[in-house]
Amino acid sequence: MSERATTRTVSLNIDREKQYRKIVGFGGSFTGAVSYLLEKLPQALQDHLYKSYYADDGLAFNLMRMSIGGCDFDLAPWAYNEEPVNDVNLSNFTKLDPRDQTKAEQIKRLRNVAKPKNLRIKGAAWSAPRWMKTNDRWTGFGRLKKEYYQTWANYHLKWLEIMEENGLPIWAISTGNEPMNGMFFMYFVRFMSMGWHPLSQAAWLSDNLGPTIRNSKYKDLIILGNDDQRYTFPTWFKMMKLSRPDALNYLDGFAVHWYWDEIFKPSFIDKTLELYPEKMLLMTESCIGDKPWQKAGPVLGSWYRGEKIARAFLQNLQHGYNGWIDWNLILDETGGPNYVDNTVDAPVILDTSNPNEILKQPMFYTMGHFSKFIPEGSVRIDAIRSNVNIDSVAYLRPDGSIAAVLFNSGNAMVEINIVDSVRGSAIIILPPRSFHTIIYH
């Protein structure tokens, strides 16, 4: 067959006048596992990793997620003020834990060598100290005891204060990581978790966390709700509002995790934004290798996984997300380390037998098509395709230029007639199975 016969055609109409939601940024997570692996690298390679992600000539990330205390990607579960128990004054929460001190020094080094324009750090707690919980355990069916609601709010405030004292002001926190894990999934989840019901979380937010933060020097801190899978949307927030009408007033936005997006479609998000169009919407955790039918760990050089991430970014940005924070910045060759062998893949892999090199996965380069070319402040605009031969998203950038990310997932070349509402039209050819980002004025 001739090349022409195997080339498909599509029109892509870009309308700058039809504008939607604004980008806050893109980033990754600085977990205990990440910090541990960084310590194994020579300083020059650490700096290279920092710049690869956060420098302008790297992926230009500007967002970062940290745990408040421990998370599942640590070497052991932990929290601040584990002792003394029943200590409502948090008398032992006066300085950074040595693990966080190491992270703080690493992040400050990242900031100095990569020079991100506007590094924004988001914190989230996986669990309170065990003595604050109904089951006195790190995991399982455990909730926060009501007598410690204010103590738990104060715990968050102390963390903000101590991080700032150590040179890392915090941009945002959430109401807690994956609250469903400690309520309904305790038989499957073996790592740190603490359960919330939307009604109890609404009470804590309305009576404790919200007033504590808004009446402090951190009154402008971003507070994000839920930090869990999209299948909880918008029911979680409707129940919160029904229980405590003022609870959602304390939330600047919603945090979503990616893991079940293939099963639960974006209509859950569409309905949420119809109800609460003023709220920010951030993807705050994503990785591949978490499902029983996937390899639980890295698949080196997997463009299948790279394409999977591309489809996820495109779908979620098309449905109103303001940004994306991926999970671990780097993992080892097993997809760890962590204390429950909860291994997954990551955009960068370290073979611990050779700490002088790191391996950048296709997922790393896929994310760069978005993060590098769609900076903070970009506004999504209409990019309407005439058929399904490509997938795309387009943004009006702060400098007035247009960035369009194009994905041809098929096995044939695609000829695209790009029609811009201001500049007219141009034809470009996309090879099979390829991503492209185009920039024009």
* CATH number, domain with residue 10: 2.60.40.1180
Q: Based on the domain organization, do 347 and 293 belong to the same domain? A: yes
Q: Based on the domain organization, do 224 and 144 belong to the same domain? A: yes
Mean pLDDT confidence for 309-329: 98
Does residue 2 have a pLDDT over 80?
Answer: no
**Residue that terminates a domain, selected from 328, 344, 376:** 376
Q: Based on the domain organization, do 206 and 341 belong to the same domain? A: yes
Residue 19 is part of which domain span? 1-23+378-440
Provide the pLDDT for residue 76.
97
Tokens read off for 189: 């989840």
Catalytic residues: 178, 285
What SS3 state is found at 309? Answer: helix
E strand or H helix that includes residue 110: helix 98-114
Q: Based on the domain organization, do 400 and 285 belong to the same domain? A: no
256-to-156, 168, 307, 332, 413 alpha-carbon distances in Å: 20, 24, 21, 26, 35
Q: Is the peptide bond before 398 cis (omega within 30 degrees of 0)?
A: no
172-to-130, 163, 176, 209, 254 alpha-carbon distances in Å: 24, 12, 12, 13, 11
**Residue that terminates a domain, selected from 376, 405, 430:** 376
d(CA 315, CA 318): 5
Q: Based on the domain organization, do 406 and 316 belong to the same domain? A: no
Q: Based on the domain organization, do 52 and 109 belong to the same domain? A: yes
Q: Based on the domain organization, do 326 and 226 belong to the same domain? A: yes
State the CATH number of the domain containing residue 229.
3.20.20.80
Tokens read off for 231: 């299948």
| Phi, psi dihedral angles at 167 (to 5 degrees) | 85, 15
Find the distance separating the first CA and the last CA of the chain, reported in whole Å: 37
pLDDT in tens, 113-162: 999 999 999 999 999 999 999 999 999 999 999 999 999 999 999 999 99
Does residue 4 have a pLDDT over 60?
Answer: no
Q: Based on the domain organization, do 371 and 416 belong to the same domain? A: no
Provide the pLDDT for residue 187.
62
pLDDT in tens, 239-295: 999 999 999 999 999 999 999 888 999 999 999 999 999 999 999 999 999 888 899
What SS3 state is found at 383? Answer: strand
Mean pLDDT confidence for 315-328: 98
- Which amino acid does the sequence have at 357? E
Provide the pLDDT for residue 143.
96
Q: Where are the alpha helices (DSSP H) in 299-353?
A: 303-318
Q: Based on the domain organization, do 328 and 395 belong to the same domain? A: no
139-to-29, 54, 72, 84 alpha-carbon distances in Å: 22, 34, 11, 20
Q: How many CB atoms lie within 10 A of CB 117?
A: 12
Provide the pLDDT for residue 183.
82
Q: Based on the domain organization, do 359 and 424 belong to the same domain? A: no
Domains of the chain: total: 2
Q: Are 150 and 128 in contact (CB under 8 A)?
A: no
What SS3 state is found at 298? Answer: coil
Residue of 108, 106, 121, 135 lying closest to 34 (CA atoms): 106
Mean pLDDT confidence for 213-236: 97
**Residue that terminates a domain, selected from 376, 402, 417:** 376
Tokens read off for 50: 């920092």
Q: Based on the domain organization, do 370 and 428 belong to the same domain? A: no
Q: Based on the domain organization, do 117 and 226 belong to the same domain? A: yes
